[in-house]
Structure 1
Amino acid sequence: MKTYSACFIMSLLFFTKANAQDIVKLNDYLITKVSINRQTEILSVNEDINNERYTIEATNDLRTKLSANYKFLGLGFGFSPPQSDRKSKFLEAKLNLFLSKWVLGADFSRIKGFYAQNIDFQNPDRDFPDLKSTSYRFSAGYLLNDRFSYKHLFQLNEWQRESSGSFIPSFTYRYNRISDFIDGDKVVQHNSDFTLSPAYYYTWCVDQNWFVTPAISPKFGMRFSKDDTNKETYFTRGFNFRLQFGFTNERVAAGATFTFESNNINYRSTRSTINDRNHAQLYFAYRFNAPKFLQRTVESIEREFGL
């Protein structure tokens, strides 16, 4: 009987230890990450007046993004300088906070210049070099499964070594300001979007170092839009598919992500739009020993707010 009890206790201890090792914490490292992105933003326009449909896009071939993460805090910056007369300008800044099971984010982005997809189609009515989209976004998500690591994919200060997935319901508020010049006059449109998304992620661990993570995110919400003359309310819907695969060990994280995002807005005016975004990214991150001044600063913030 004692032998069975001892085996049971040893098995329980082993199982507990194995579960404890499902996610390895790497909070003491300062993570620096560089990524090269190929991101395409396409705007499909239907004009009922002329019974025409055409597409324009932001023509940023490559975007460079730099980020640094430490414990609960993540900062990022992205840019894409213009390379020719038909190149769009892109600028982005991000702040992420990981507080227990909560994932909080705020970001700013600005894109200027949308052009006809067919370069040979020389119609100035289809090129919008002064069209500028400026966005501010705030989001909050909640992780439902402790055995799935969201930080393993984004913050990179955890290492998930056993397969697991989780629903991550989220709420997003986004303010978008679109401006352009038409016949010498500046036209501005203000959009406020409120969106709910019951996203689901699943990480397959091929072994302890390699992984594959698909994710799906249906979206539903409302848009409140206004310009100089009109105020409108619209229902919105969308769908995101994301695929990430990569390599992780204690010091290095590297991989690639592919994202497709489609947003549909039910306009009741003379113009309807569908905005599609395709995104491919290669990334490399290295975990450094955090400098002492950073440790002291962040630890004082954690003590002050009980994090």
Structure 2
Amino acid sequence: MALKHCIGFFFSGILGCFAQEDSLRVRYFKKFDDNISTKLSINSTSNSFVLNDVVNNRRYDIVPNDRERIDLSLGYRAIAVSFGFAPDFLATNKDNSDSKLFNLNFRAFHNQWTQSFDLYSQSGFYLKTGDVSVVLPDMKTFKIGGQTSYVLNKNFSFRAMAAQSEWQQKSAGSLIPTLSLYYTKFRFKIEDFDETAHIYTAAISPAYYYNFVIRKNFYISLGTAPGIGMEYVDSDISALYQIEFNVALGYASDTFFAGINSNVKSFTSNTGSDVQWGDAVARGEIYVGYRFKPPKKLTEISEKINEKLPFKK
């Protein structure tokens, strides 16, 4: 009888330690898996390119016309999706009637895994070299791809920074190994010259992010992701270098959240040939959002879907 009590006391102590560890971990951030998160933002997104003529030592910047977009984002449980458009009534867009920009961003979470999906389609560029600037109204680019990441520190909330579906309540950071895969179709057209390039890139990076919590409701998030990989352009393979920076400042509470977010992702190839490519995606946004309980019917449908998919609450 005494042996049974000792065994029971032993295992109760072990389970109590695990429960205490989980309790401490939960206090680092608060989850809102059972809430719908809505976000309205005004942002500027662009995919620009650099062409280096090694022989003549000349740099060509291929820059899209500035376009500001209005985005609407919805997040519920493991899924976050956003879509946007660039209306002409915004001041920056009024002089860019020949420019077009469409992008779609999707992000899914599963435990410590996160998967992003990005699509960019744009037309209307400037070719700049030195003091010369040439309009390229017929130039078009299309980019599709995404990133697969794994958060090593369970106390760090990547969702709080990337999707605002959680609330980081105690400062924490994490190393986040990331795999990036993208395809870009680049059509360069000017007068009688019309060429299309197909660019495939793959890179791995040991990204690191940190959420600084300031006076409970305010936070600053910083992140960087240097990486290396390969680029395949029209049968030519070359080394690829990636660098990504993220800076965010925000306010979070149980229902209302708002903030400013800036992200720059840059790819540079080292072909050793006469011409070298550079590719950068920059995004800045100002947003406000609100969380609320979903309709009961939506919860029931979500529960049925969760039973068949690997995503958890």
**Please, which runs of 5 or more residues in structure 1 have no aligned partner?**
1-11
**What secondary structure, in the 3-state scheme, does the structure 2 residue paired with 1:162 have?**
coil
Q: 2:53 aligns with which of 35, 47, 51?
A: 47
In the superposition, relative to structure 1, how do residues 47 and 161 fare at CA in structure 2: closer, same or farther (>3 Å)?
same
CA shift digits 1:31-73 (9 cap, x unpaired): 1111111345443333356553332311224222211000001
In the superposition, relative to structure 1, how do residues 96 and 15 fare at CA in structure 2: closer, same or farther (>3 Å)?
closer
In the superposition, relative to structure 1, how do residues 24 and 257 fare at CA in structure 2: closer, same or farther (>3 Å)?
same
Structure-2 residue corresponding to 1:280: 284
TM-score by length of structure 2 reads 0.83
Task: Establish whether residue 250 from structure 1 lines up as the match of residue 254 from structure 2.
Answer: yes
- 1:245 Cα shift? 1.2
Using the TM superposition, name which of 60-69 and 77-86 deviates more.
77-86
In the superposition, relative to structure 1, how do residues 146 and 49 fare at CA in structure 2: closer, same or farther (>3 Å)?
closer
**What secondary structure, in the 3-state scheme, does the structure 2 residue paired with 1:294 have?**
helix
Structure-2 residue corresponding to 1:5: none
Q: Which amino acid aligns with 2:140?
A: K
Q: Is this contact kept in 2: 1:237–1:265, CA < 8 A?
A: yes
Structure-1 residue corresponding to 2:165: 157
Q: 1:103 aligns with which of 114, 131, 140?
A: 114
Q: Is this contact kept in 2: 1:41–1:277, CA < 8 A?
A: yes
- 1:263 Cα shift? 2.4
Structure-1 residue corresponding to 2:266: 262
Task: Establish whether residue 205 from structure 1 lines up as the match of residue 216 from structure 2.
Answer: no
Structure-1 residue corresponding to 2:142: 134
Give the length in aligned residue pairs.
291
Q: Which amino acid aligns with 1:155?
A: A
Tell me how far apart the structure 2 counterparts of residues 42 and 107 of structure 1 sit (CA, whole Å): 15
CA shift digits 1:183-219 (9 cap, x unpaired): 4464221111111111100111112211111111102
Q: 2:100 aligns with which of 89, 93, 98?
A: 89
Tell me how far apart the structure 1 counterparts of residues 80 and 156 of structure 2 sit (CA, whole Å): 19
Q: Is this contact kept in 1: 2:136–2:190, CA < 8 A?
A: no
Tell me how far apart the structure 2 counterparts of residues 244 and 170 of structure 1 sit (CA, whole Å): 19
CA RMSD of aligned residues (A): 2.7
CA shift digits 1:145-191 (9 cap, x unpaired): 11000111122221110011001111121111111335446422111
Q: How does 1:1-307 map to 2 (within 5 A)?
A: 17-48=23-54, 51-81=57-87, 83-85=94-96, 88-116=99-127, 121=132, 126-184=134-192, 186-226=194-234, 231-305=235-309, 307=312
TM-score by length of structure 1 reads 0.85
In the superposition, relative to structure 1, how do residues 288 and 302 fare at CA in structure 2: closer, same or farther (>3 Å)?
same
**Please, which runs of 5 or more residues in structure 2 have no aligned partner?**
1-16, 88-92
Q: Is this contact kept in 2: 1:60–1:87, CA < 8 A?
A: no
Q: Is this contact kept in 2: 1:45–1:271, CA < 8 A?
A: yes
**What secondary structure, in the 3-state scheme, does the structure 2 residue paired with 1:93 have?**
strand
State the percentage of identical aligned residues: 26
Q: Is this contact kept in 2: 1:56–1:114, CA < 8 A?
A: yes
Q: Is this contact kept in 1: 2:35–2:292, CA < 8 A?
A: yes
- 1:268 Cα shift? 3.7
Q: Is this contact kept in 1: 2:260–2:286, CA < 8 A?
A: yes
Q: Is this contact kept in 1: 2:41–2:72, CA < 8 A?
A: yes
In the superposition, relative to structure 1, how do residues 186 and 220 fare at CA in structure 2: closer, same or farther (>3 Å)?
same
In the superposition, relative to structure 1, how do residues 225 and 279 fare at CA in structure 2: closer, same or farther (>3 Å)?
same
Q: Is this contact kept in 2: 1:60–1:80, CA < 8 A?
A: no
Tell me how far apart the structure 1 counterparts of residues 278 and 146 of structure 2 sit (CA, whole Å): 22
**What secondary structure, in the 3-state scheme, does the structure 1 residue paired with 2:158 have?**
coil
